[in-house]
Structure 1
Amino acid sequence: MKNNVNRIFILALLISFLGCGGNDAKKIKEEVKTKENTPSISNNWNISFLLDLSDRISPEKYPNESLDYYKRDVGYINSVAQTLSEHLETKKIRSMNDKIQLFFDPEPLNQEINSIANQLKYKILKDNVTPELLKEIKETYSTLPVEIYNLAINDGNYVGSDTWKFFKNKIKDYCIDANYRNILIILTDGYIYHESSKIKEGNLTTYITPETIRRNQLNNSNWRTRMEEGKFGFIPLEQDLSNLEILVIGINPDVKNPYEEDVVKAYWSDWLHKMNVKKFEIKNADLPANMEKVINNFISKP
């Protein structure tokens, strides 16, 4: 009788062991399958800038004793280029496949500005990378952007910012490529307006200005409730931007409304969420020295 009990006990242990082994094997198989189906984050960077050359950059209209806003933009651009340079310096030559470029919407009428923008477009490949090219990229991005702003300011022909239409018609073609980490840096005060894209559907618009915020009575502590109940915001776009990371820098809210910054950021956040942007940050127009770490962290850490 005792031997039978022992046999039953040993058999139970064996069944239990085999059962656990089967479960463990199944678990391991599922984990491997999940890992295989999870897309790896590319070490190839595709960095784009979208510059807002509206009157926000005018030192006369929006002076700042600490540092003019266009000079802040130049500092941000330089920080991005520096982060890219550090990234390239750590890569092996055979794995080089990175890009950086700069866009506007609308395009400036000044052909010289467009010519400079073309000089800021680089594709770094294993076939063309040299120490001289890497040095050239750093020097070009540290000198040419300020020329763009100086030309725009001297022209005084501020045509506005058509960011909504850029997202509608160009962003996928210009800023997103397969097998890259696609990163878009938008330099803007947060306000969007262009006469040719002034569309309103109910309380949804293609633009946001201090005037529209005041007119929509989003200038008190009840702004979020009013915004949600009234369905205020940007007109959504049928875009899947899940393969694009976006850093918005330069938010400069109207100081007359203590809730202006919250409203502007809510417009942007809600809009980007609806386009399935997984990673984005929206930052104010701080000094470049303070923003350097923010920019580096955003780009360097996927």
Structure 2
Amino acid sequence: MMKHICLLIVLIYTLNSCKSDSLENINNTSTLEEEVIKLSPNRPNLNISILIDLSDRINPKKYPNPAMNYFERDLGYIHSIVQSFEWHVRNKRSLKINDHIQLYIDPEPADNDLNEKINSLNITFTKNNAKRELIKRTSTLYDSISNGIYKSAIKDGNYIGSDIWGFFKTNVKDFCIQKDYRNILIILTDGYLYHRDSKLKEKNLSSYLTPQDIRRFKLNKSDWKDRIQNQGFGFIAARNDLEELEVLVLGINPDAKNPYEQDVIIQYWSDWLTKMNVKGFELKTANLPANMDKIIKEYILNKSI
């Protein structure tokens, strides 16, 4: 009996030791990751804007996905974005902190309470308020309010589209660009553009693109690229003065019925952002947040040098 008790004590001690080692490894990994960030010299001030597309692409009934719903992927992307922002601020010298993050929906919601919550996500840290605990609360605040935004939109069910084209035309310069900052606009969208109040067309250029348009323009065949180049398909350039803006598009989700859909969407966006003289851009498909986390953090942190 005494022998069994001794064996049990040894087993419990061993398991606790393994657990402690595992937790220590996790903590060491986190610390190491932050130490690596600390080694990045003279990072610029960040001005991050997040624009979310609340069209029916987030409808879990219309576009179900057994791996993870698309609105949940968005929430995961937002968490990675804001966590990157936190790490950036926490690892700067206090005197150099002057960083900003904000979130936009276009058109703005009719719900006044929701608008107040969105306004609370307009956050600036300077040397006067950059307390460690306050900085660390940023992702918690974003997680909570973003979750409420998506659930409210899904519950309402009135998907009128997202006016991304109109946002570039009217607001992007004023809202998303500040002098002496690294200005990053991160757009969460499936890559299609449509809003009932932004339906412009100039020959084969337009302010919108839907799966139906791609089929109608006969861009669902192997000669899609030739047709775009020879017949001038694409988005109308909303402006041409965005030299101080970087754009990261997350969540591109092409219609699976057309094997060339993703290529067409990326070509449209690439041509559009190039015509608007965007400083740099990357376009990413709707992968799981766990797979996108590293990509997002590397984009925000490793390029902030």
Q: TM-score range by the shorter chain?
A: 0.7 to 0.9
| Letter aligned with residue 109 of structure 1 | A
Gaps of 5+ in 1: 1-40
User: What are the residue-to-residue correspondences of 1:125-274 with 2, within 5 Å?
Assistant: 125-274=126-275
Number of equivalenced pairs: 262
- Matched-pair contact (CA < 8 Å) for 1:44–1:97: yes
- Matched-pair contact (CA < 8 Å) for 1:42–1:181: no
Q: Measure how far apart 1:42 and its partner are.
A: 6.0
| Letter aligned with residue 139 of structure 2 | K
Partner of 2:133: helix, strand, or coil?
helix
Matched with 1:281 is 282
Taking the aligned partners of 1:195 and 1:237, their CA distance within structure 2 comes to: 17
Partner of 1:197: helix, strand, or coil?
coil
- Matched-pair contact (CA < 8 Å) for 2:106–2:167: yes
Partner of 2:220: helix, strand, or coil?
coil
- Matched-pair contact (CA < 8 Å) for 2:90–2:132: no
Gaps of 5+ in 2: 1-41
Alpha-carbon displacement from aligned partner over 1:26-64 (angstroms, at most 9, x marks no partner): xxxxxxxxxxxxxxx961000000010001001011111
Coordinate RMSD, CA, aligned? 1.2
TM-score normalized by the length of structure 2: 0.84
Q: Measure how far apart 1:157 and its partner are.
A: 1.3
| Letter aligned with residue 248 of structure 2 | L
- Matched-pair contact (CA < 8 Å) for 2:47–2:182: yes
Alpha-carbon displacement from aligned partner over 1:163-216 (angstroms, at most 9, x marks no partner): 111001100000000010001100000011011110111000000000000000
TM-score normalized by the length of structure 1: 0.85
Taking the aligned partners of 1:249 and 1:138, their CA distance within structure 2 comes to: 18
Matched with 2:98 is 97
Where do 4+ consecutive residues of structure 1 move more than 6 Å?
A: none
- Matched-pair contact (CA < 8 Å) for 1:252–1:284: yes
User: What are the residue-to-residue correspondences of 1:56-135 with 2, within 5 Å?
Assistant: 56-135=57-136
| Letter aligned with residue 120 of structure 1 | L
| Letter aligned with residue 85 of structure 2 | L
- Matched-pair contact (CA < 8 Å) for 2:53–2:189: yes
Alpha-carbon displacement from aligned partner over 1:112-166 (angstroms, at most 9, x marks no partner): 3322211211010111221231122121123221111001111111110111110
- Matched-pair contact (CA < 8 Å) for 2:168–2:239: no
- Matched-pair contact (CA < 8 Å) for 1:42–1:180: no
Taking the aligned partners of 2:202 and 2:302, their CA distance within structure 1 comes to: 38
| Letter aligned with residue 94 of structure 1 | L
